[in-house]
């Protein structure tokens, strides 16, 4: 009864609560309906497309502003994942965006394009996260915006292209009432060039006053008016640039209003050149008109129909007009007779039609009074810029008077001509250039010509040999330049037969009316015969006096009548001492008498050798030749003797004999080959050395020289030299030949030859050939060596150069050019190194000063800076030495250059790095040390003082392990032995206290190969204490948690038993009692029966709840079936109730799993299974239980959507937290991985025993 009352009270309270809840729900429903209506109205008003997606991207619902916005029918996308919609081109973007929304729980926007009805449309999609992992996608058509953006971008690009590439200067100014305070906002490069500055400089300057230095211009007022009226303004001004140049600028200004400020866009054009050209053109036109009107020639120009288009004033006056403009538009028919006009017109049309000028032709002019004049006319075609003939330009002058003078002169010339052509003397006239203008018949004949035309206009250099012409020319210049006549001068020339003829010449200056010399008149009278007779006489006298032989004349008594100078010089007498004396004065030959010689001479002459005596008594040999002297009657009157001192010849003959003997020995024993050959190159003599060169006997080699020559091109050159020697009869330079001996051996010889000339012709060649084969091979080897050297220098990776003492670069290789940015070395050769290459010329001057102070050769290495072609600076290492001559004078410098710019930069970087390292080390809270291979400290950072109370030098040189705690030395030793790593250890400070350190070391090697280690150590003493305290606390907490879990599990068992045994029994008894009441109350009131039935339903529900709660608190199947059986039982129940199919696999479970391990694993399994049912949307679950190495491994895998990273990191994942805490109590661990669309894997590992070997209960 009490229980029924309690149940009734509970139902009444439940009814009251339910009523209040229903009223609250009714009110909330009304508010929700109203809000829903408002929201729906807002959604209907939005023109965008809206889609609602679940966590997998499945489209749950949609809203479209218009059905035309949908590309697909609703049935094609509702209920499907957005990734599976046929629009593949956007599905990948949506997939990525969905993952980002789920992972970061923030709004993600994407843009994409679609081709619809042959149009490309652009869309923007915004993905907004909702509760329960749902997403709202809002899609908006942004095609118009995109098109507008593209149009703006295209417009901006066009403006930029125009702005940057315009030929005019373009500027944008922020305006100011004061025109000199306008601010430059932007300008192009052309505008900057007009200003004489660069663009960046202009924009930095900013204000107009500093940029535009103008001459005051009233246009400034008009410009201000245009700004106010907002009208385009055009004007011009003069711009004075910084370099003082004045430019004339035409500009167009466009005022604009933007964001409340006044701006102007200016387009400036530099018209300085055009303005100056216009001024020059105007000046030129004025000058041309002045010239045309003042020159005596008449000038006119006509169109293609021969109408006058213009003329100068003299031409107009000739035509009867006072002003040239009066003639324009008229023809020749209006200014001359018809006959004359026809001729003029025909000439015009001929020039116009053919396009060929008609120049300097003379034509008659018939004047109105009937007289005839003469004109000299020229006509040329006038052309337009395409070259088309558009008219004719003509000039003419009146030459009537000149024609009359020419006729008179012609008559006078005819008379003059007849006169001079009949004179025997040569008469000629020359102009001031010494060219013949007149030559009479005698003069033409003297020059070997047949007509005057052959000599007119020519100088003497064209008519006579150069040496003769030079003499004539010198006299001509004396007459023409000084005005002095040449009188009675004897000159010779060579006639047509090659004979020398003599003239007695007179040359007189010819002057005009003003007394200016216009040329000369020359007269030449032939005196050849007289000259030859006088010369023969002089020659005979000179010959007798100057001949080298002794000449004497004696009478028939052998008394001396005449002796020449040679006679006196030979015998040592004076003329007075010998004249009249007997010939025996000098003769003394005992074998030949003077009388006998006289007799033989009279008979026909005598010659022979005899002995004579000089004044000093010296007896010597002479060769005497005598002949008889006869008078007019051919009677002998004396004899002439010619004696030659042959003493030297006698001695020479003896010397020649001895020389021949010596020469024969030289020829036979010389290493050179001596030979002679004829002009056809056939050997006529060969010395014995022919055996060594030709590999045959000399007689066998007496053939043509060419038979021994190879096809080497050098032989052709040698043959040409040999032929030249034959042709000229002069000795030529030595030459080389390559010969092929009889045995096929190639021999190089050097030839030196001399021609043997007789009667002006070469009859043979003598020569010597030197075997230079070895030298030639040495030279070839040297050439190869030099080429290798040149190639090495040219292509060497280091720079090589030579320079003069003054710094002029003589040569350099390509590496130098490449270093300095030049295309080739030729660009550098000739430059001044100090000025053009050295960054600081004083660097070179210091080296030169040092070198000049030394008397010995020096080699100096130094680093300096050089300038490249583009002005950048490089560092070079130079090794330079001087090259000196034998007297130790410096000839030039030679240098080797290395580009060390990168090394310099590296050194600078290293210096900076070391500075940063020093600052980092000195300011770091960690201790930084450097250790050598012997495990000794080389460096300790300063902060060791604040941590260990050591000075850095206290530890430098000490062993690293000396202060390490004994048990921790192995950890540090491992770092040192393995050349790196990390360790945690204890280290003793100065006071003996221990500090915990965490150190990391890494090995490096110095440039010398020495091993070093850098170790960074952090004092973790306080952290270590905190960790120890935390570890102690964690262990206490773990023990408490284990105890609590054990107590809770036992409590669950007790409650489960009590619920099942006691409360279940009471409810069962209550159910029986209600059944009894129902049976007993059959005849009772129907309301009571209904109430009893309701109470029985409640009791049944209470029984079911008791059973369910009892199982959840402590599943009976775990105790009844064990872990594996309980898992299989749960899987079977889930498959029946939820349709989730499961597979349980047991692998290697050798011993039964029970106790705390069994309970924890089962709880983990139940938590994972619940999560799969709630969130995974899986169709299968796979459970695997295995044992390995003393541990139990439980793996649970599903094929659902896959857990996300956000869910793993989420604070609401209490199930994962519970799993982690349960496993930690028994030393277990777990991992969980999820992959979108491929399910989730949970892996749990639990040890069966504790670390001390005790089994986990």
- Does residue 970 lie in a domain region? yes
Together in a domain, 1215 and 1233: yes
pTM: predicted TM-score of the whole model, two decimal places: 0.30
DSSP string, 697-752: -GGGG-SBGGGGB-S-HHHHHHHHHHHHHHHH-S----EEEEEE-TTS-EEEEEEE
Residue 664 is assigned to a structural domain of this protein: no
Query: In this structure, are strands 1180-1188 and 1229-1234 parallel, antiparallel, or unpaired?
Result: unpaired
CA–CA distance, 138 with 1171 (Å, rounded to integer): 31
Q: Is the pLDDT of residue 759 over 80?
A: yes
Give Cα 942 distance to the centre of its chain: 51
Query: In the listed set 986, 1019, 1052, which residue is the last one of a domain according to the structure?
Result: 1019
CA distance 152 to 158: 10
Percentage of residues in the chain having pLDDT higher than 70: 81
Identify the CA nearest to 146 among candidates 164, 175, 119, 166: 119
For residue 1059, give every residue at least 6 positions away whose Cβ sits within 8 Å of its Cβ, in sequence order, or none.
Answer: 1106, 1109, 1110, 1113
Say how far apart CA 1012 and CA 1001 lie, in whole Å: 10
CB atoms within 10 A of CB 112: 17
The set of residues, in sequence order, having a beta carbon less than 8 Å from that of 157 and lying 6+ positions away, is: none
Enumerate the H helices of 729-866 as residue ranges.
Answer: 773-795, 814-819, 833-836, 841-852
Q: How confident is the model at residue 737 (pLDDT cuts 50, 70, 90)?
A: very high
Q: Which of 615, 650, 685 is the last residue of a domain?
A: 650
Q: Six-digit token pair at 947?
A: 């941590």
pLDDT band at 389 (very low <50, low <70, confident <90, very high): very high
Assess whether 838 and 933 both reside in one domain: no
**Burial tier of 629 (Cβ tally within 10 Å: 0-12, 13-18, 19+):** middle
| Residues 529 and 554 occupy one common structural domain | no
Return the minimum-mean-pLDDT range out of 730-734, 775-779, 1104-1108: 1104-1108
Q: Does 883 have pLDDT greater than 60?
A: yes
Question: pLDDT band at 6, cuts 50/70/90?
Answer: very low
On whether both 690 and 761 belong to a single domain, the answer is yes
Mean pLDDT of 1058-1073: 59
| Pairing label, strands 1141-1147, 1180-1188 | parallel
pLDDT confidence of 243, banded at 50, 70, 90? confident
Residue 1255: pLDDT band with limits 50, 70, 90:
low
pLDDT for position 1126: 86
The reported pLDDT for the residue numbered 953 is 92
- Identify whether 1099 is part of a domain: no
Kindly state whether residues 518 and 552 are assigned to the same domain: no
Q: Indicate the residue among 271, 286, 311 that finishes a domain.
A: 271
Residue 1046's pLDDT is 59
Q: Could you tell me if 1128 and 1200 lie in one domain? A: yes
Query: Mean of the pLDDT values across residues 1208-1214?
Result: 63
Predicted pLDDT of residue 292:
78
Backbone CA torsion sign across 316, 322, 324, 327: negative
Query: What total of structural domains would you count in the chain?
Result: 10
User: In this structure, is residue 128 part of a structural domain?
Assistant: yes
Angle (deg, nearest 10), helices 1064-1080 and 1086-1113? 170
Looking at 130-260, which runs of residues are DSSP E strands? Answer: 135-141, 169-174, 183-187, 213-214, 233-240, 246-258
Residue 1068 lies in a domain: no
Read off the pLDDT of each residue in 331-337 and give the average, rounded to a whole number: 86
Whether the Cβ atoms of residue 602 and residue 554 lie closer than 8 Å to each other: no
Q: Is the same domain home to 34 and 58?
A: no
Q: pLDDT digits over 932-983, tens only? A: 889 999 888 888 898 999 999 999 999 999 999 999 999 888 888 888 888 9
> For residue 582, is it within any domain?
yes
What's 955's domain CATH number?
3.30.450.20
Half-sphere exposure of 649 (CA within 13 A, CB side): 8
Q: Kindly state the average pLDDT of the residues 492-504.
A: 79
Contacts of 1080 (CB under 8 A, 6+ apart): none
Instruction: Please report the pLDDT score of residue 964 as a whole number.
Output: 93
State the Cα torsion 440-446-451-457 to the nearest 10°. -80
Mean pLDDT of the chain: 80
Which of 783, 769, 760 is CA-nearest to residue 738?
Answer: 769
**pLDDT-wise least confident of 673-682, 1148-1157, 1192-1201:** 1148-1157
* Residue spans of beta strands (DSSP E) within 271-368: 298-303, 308-311, 358-366
Helix (H) or strand (E) holding 487: strand 486-494
Instruction: Give the mean pLDDT of 868-873.
Output: 92
Distance of CA 670 to the CA centre of its chain: 64
Sheet of 799-803, strands arranged across: 809-812, 799-803, 890-899, 873-884, 859-867
Quote the pLDDT of residue 18. Answer: 45
Q: Are 807 and 859 found together in one domain?
A: yes
Cα–Cα distance measured from residue 583 to residue 553, given in angstroms and rounded to the nearest whole number: 10
User: Does 526 fall in a domain?
Assistant: yes
**Which of 538-552, 755-769, 1198-1212 has the largest mean confidence?**
755-769
pLDDT of the residue at 25: 42
* Span 1009-1030, pLDDT tens digits: 888 888 888 888 888 887 777 7
Q: Which of 665-669, 732-736, 1071-1075, 1091-1095 has the lowest mean pLDDT?
A: 1071-1075
> 1053 falls in which pLDDT band (50, 70, 90)?
low
Pairing of strands 809-812, 799-803: antiparallel
* β partners of residue 562: 553
Report pLDDT digits (tens) over 1154-1179: 777 888 888 888 888 888 888 888 99
Residue 1107: pLDDT band by 50, 70, 90 thresholds? low
Task: Read off the pLDDT of each residue in 332-351 and give the average, rounded to a whole number.
Answer: 88
Region 254-280: mean pLDDT is: 80
Query: Quick one: what percent of the chain has pLDDT higher than 90?
Result: 15
User: Is the domain of 94 the same as that of 188?
Assistant: no
So what's the pLDDT on residue 1043? 53
In this structure, the answer to whether residues 885 and 942 fall within a common structural domain is no
Q: Output the pLDDT for position 1039.
A: 58
Query: pLDDT, tens digit, for every residue of 159-202?
Result: 677 677 777 888 888 887 776 677 888 888 888 888 888 888 88
Work out the pLDDT band at 503, boundaries 50, 70, 90: confident
> Does 1160 share its domain with 1218?
yes
CA dihedral (79, 82, 85, 87) in degrees, to 10, reads 160
Is 90 part of a structural domain of the chain?
yes
- Report pLDDT for 709: 92
Kindly state the average pLDDT of the residues 536-541. Answer: 70
CA distances from 977 to 930, 986, 1013 (A): 15, 19, 11
The DSSP letter of residue 1201 is S
The length of the chain is: 1257
Distances (CA, A) of 960 to 403, 481, 967: 127, 111, 15
Note whether 709 and 715 are within 8 A (CB): yes
Q: What's the pLDDT score for residue 853?
A: 66
Query: Which ranges in 302-399 belong to alpha helices (H)?
Result: 313-318, 338-354
pLDDT given at position 1006: 79
Domain of residue 136: give its range: 46-147
Residue 115 has pLDDT above 80, yes or no: no
Q: What would the 3-class secondary structure string for 396-426 be?
A: EEECHHHHHHHHHHHHHHHHHHHHHHCCCCE
Question: pLDDT tens for residues 784-826?
Answer: 767 776 776 666 678 889 999 888 999 888 888 988 999 888 8
Work out the widest C-alpha separation in the chain, in whole angstroms.
225
Shared-domain flag, residues 349 and 452: no
């Amino acid at each position: 009864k009490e229980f029924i009352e309690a149940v009734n009270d509970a139902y009444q309270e439940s009814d009251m609560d339910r009523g209040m809840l229903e009223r609250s729900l009714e009110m909330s429903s009304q508010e929700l309906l109203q809000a829903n209506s408002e929201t729906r109205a807002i959604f209907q008003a939005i023109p965008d497309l809206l889609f609602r997606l679940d966590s997998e991207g499945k489209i749950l619902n949609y809203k479209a502003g218009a059905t035309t916005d949908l590309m697909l029918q609703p049935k094609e996308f509702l209920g499907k994942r957005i990734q599976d919609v046929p629009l593949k081109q956007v599905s990948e973007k949506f997939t990525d965006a969905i993952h980002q929304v789920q992972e970061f729980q923030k709004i993600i926007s994407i843009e994409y394009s679609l081709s619809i009805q042959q149009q490309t449309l652009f869309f923007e999609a915004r993905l907004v996260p909702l509760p329960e992992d749902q997403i709202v996608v809002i899609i908006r058509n942004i095609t118009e915006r995109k098109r507008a953006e593209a149009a703006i971008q295209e417009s901006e690009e066009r403006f930029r292209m125009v702005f940057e590439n315009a030929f005019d200067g373009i500027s944008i100014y922020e305006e100011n009432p004061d025109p000199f305070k306008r601010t430059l906002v932007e300008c192009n490069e052309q505008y900057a060039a007009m200003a004489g500055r660069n663009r960046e400089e202009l924009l930095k300057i900013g204000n107009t006053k500093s940029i535009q230095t103008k001459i005051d211009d009233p246009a400034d007022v008009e410009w201000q008016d245009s700004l106010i009226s907002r009208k385009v303004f055009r004007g011009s001004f003069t711009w004075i640039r910084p370099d003082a140049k004045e430019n004339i600028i035409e500009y167009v200004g466009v005022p604009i209003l933007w964001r409340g400020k006044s701006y102007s866009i200016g387009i400036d054009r530099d018209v300085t050149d055009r303005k100056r050209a216009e001024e020059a053109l105007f000046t030129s036109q004025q000058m041309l008109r002045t010239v045309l009107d003042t020159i005596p020639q008449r000038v006119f120009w006509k169109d293609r129909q021969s109408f006058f288009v213009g003329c100068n004033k003299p031409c107009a006056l000739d035509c009867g007009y006072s002003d040239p403009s009066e003639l324009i538009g008229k023809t020749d028919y209006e200014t001359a007779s018809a006959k004359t006009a026809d001729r003029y017109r025909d000439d015009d049309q001929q020039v116009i039609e053919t396009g060929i000028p008609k120049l300097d032709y003379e034509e008659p002019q018939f004047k109105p009074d009937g007289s005839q004049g003469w004109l000299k006319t020229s006509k040329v075609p006038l052309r337009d810029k395409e070259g088309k003939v558009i008219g004719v330009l003509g000039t003419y002058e009146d030459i009537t008077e000149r024609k009359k003078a020419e006729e008179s002169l012609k008559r006078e010339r005819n008379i003059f001509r007849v006169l001079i052509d009949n004179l025997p003397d040569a008469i000629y006239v020359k102009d001031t250039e010494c060219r013949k203008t007149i030559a009479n018949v005698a003069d033409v004949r003297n020059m070997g010509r047949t007509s005057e035309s052959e000599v007119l206009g020519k100088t003497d250099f064209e008519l006579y040999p150069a040496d003769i012409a030079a003499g004539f020319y010198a006299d001509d210049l004396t007459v023409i330049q000084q005005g002095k006549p040449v009188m009675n001068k004897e000159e010779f020339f060579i006639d047509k037969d090659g004979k020398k003829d003599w003239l007695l010449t007179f040359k007189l200056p010819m002057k005009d009316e003003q007394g200016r010399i216009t040329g000369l008149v020359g007269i030449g009278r032939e005196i050849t015969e007289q000259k030859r007779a006088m010369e023969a006489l002089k020659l005979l006298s000179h010959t007798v006096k100057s001949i080298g032989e002794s000449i004497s004349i004696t009478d028939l008594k052998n008394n001396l009548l005449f002796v020449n100078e040679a006679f006196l010089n030979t015998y040592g007498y004076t003329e007075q001492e010998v004249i009249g004396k007997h010939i025996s004065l000098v003769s003394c030959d005992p074998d030949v008498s003077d009388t006998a010689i006289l007799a033989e001479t009279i008979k026909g002459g005598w010659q022979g050798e005899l002995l004579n005596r000089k004044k000093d008594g010296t007896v010597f040999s002479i060769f005497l030749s005598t002949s008889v002297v006869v008078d007019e009657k051919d009677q002998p009157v004396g004899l002439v003797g010619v004696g030659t001192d042959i003493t030297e010849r006698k001695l020479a003959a003896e010397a020649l004999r001895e020389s021949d003997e010596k020469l024969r020995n030289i020829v036979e024993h010389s290493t050179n080959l001596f030979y002679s050959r004829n002009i056809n190159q056939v050997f006529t003599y060969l010395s014995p050395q022919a055996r060594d060169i030709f590999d045959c006997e000399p007689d066998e080699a007496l053939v043509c020289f060419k038979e021994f020559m190879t096809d080497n091109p050098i032989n052709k050159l040698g043959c040409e030299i040999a032929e030249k020697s034959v042709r000229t009869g002069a000795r030529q330079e030595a030459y080389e030949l390559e010969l092929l001996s009889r045995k096929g051996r190639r021999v190089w010889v050097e030839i030196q030859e001399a021609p043997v000339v007789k009667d002006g012709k070469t009859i043979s060649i003598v020569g010597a050939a030197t075997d230079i084969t070895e030298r030639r091979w040495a030279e070839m080897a040297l050439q190869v060596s030099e080429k290798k050297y040149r190639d090495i220098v040219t292509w060497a990776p280091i720079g090589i150069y030579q320079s003069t003492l003054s710094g002029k670069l003589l040569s350099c290789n390509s590496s130098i050019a490449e270093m300095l940015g030049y295309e080739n070395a030729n660009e550098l050769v000739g430059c001044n190194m100090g000025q053009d290459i050295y960054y600081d010329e004083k660097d070179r001057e210091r080296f030169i000063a040092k070198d000049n102070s030394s008397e010995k050769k020096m080699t100096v290495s130094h680093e300096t800076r050089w300038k490249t072609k583009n002005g950048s600076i490089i560092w070079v290492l130079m090794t330079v030495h001087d090259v000196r001559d034998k007297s130790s004078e410096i000839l030039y410098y030679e240098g080797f250059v290395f580009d060390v710019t990168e090394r310099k930069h590296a050194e600078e970087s290293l210096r900076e790095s070391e500075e940063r390292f020093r600052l980092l080390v000195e300011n770091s809270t960690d201790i930084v040390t450097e250790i050598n291979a012997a495990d000794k400290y080389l460096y300790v950072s300063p902060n060791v003082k604040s941590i260990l109370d050591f000075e850095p030098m206290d530890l430098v040189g000490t062993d690293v392990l000396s202060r390490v705690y004994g048990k921790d030395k192995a950890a540090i030793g491992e770092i040192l032995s393995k050349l790196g790593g990390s360790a945690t250890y204890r280290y003793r400070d100065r006071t003996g206290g221990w500090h915990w350190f965490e150190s990391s070391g890494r090995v490096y090697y110095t440039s010398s190969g020495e091993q070093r280690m850098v170790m960074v150590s952090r004092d973790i003493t306080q952290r270590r204490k905190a960790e120890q305290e935390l570890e102690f606390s964690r262990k206490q907490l773990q023990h408490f948690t284990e105890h609590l879990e054990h107590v809770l599990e036992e409590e669950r068992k007790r409650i489960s038993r009590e619920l099942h045994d006691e409360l279940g029994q009471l409810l069962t008894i209550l159910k029986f009692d209600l059944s009894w009441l129902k049976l007993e109350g059959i005849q009772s009131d129907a309301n009571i029966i209904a109430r009893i039935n309701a109470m029985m339903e409640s009791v049944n529900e209470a029984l079911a709840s008791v059973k369910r709660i009892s199982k959840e608190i402590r599943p009976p199947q775990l105790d009844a079936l064990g872990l594996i059986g309980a898992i299989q039982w749960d899987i079977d129940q889930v498959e029946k109730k939820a349709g989730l199919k499961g597979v349980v696999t047991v692998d290697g479970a050798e011993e039964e799993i029970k106790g705390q391990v069994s309970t924890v694993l089962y709880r983990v399994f139940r938590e994972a299974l619940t999560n799969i049912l709630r969130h995974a949307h899986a169709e299968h679950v796979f459970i695997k239980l295995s044992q390995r190495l003393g541990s139990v491994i439980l793996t649970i895998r599903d094929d659902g959507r896959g857990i996300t990273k956000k869910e793993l990191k989420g604070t609401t994942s209490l199930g994962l937290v519970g799993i982690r805490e349960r496993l930690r109590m028994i030393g277990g661990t777990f991992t969980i991985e999820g992959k979108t669309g491929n399910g989730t894997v949970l892996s749990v590992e639990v040890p069966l025993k504790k670390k001390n070997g005790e089994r986990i209960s």
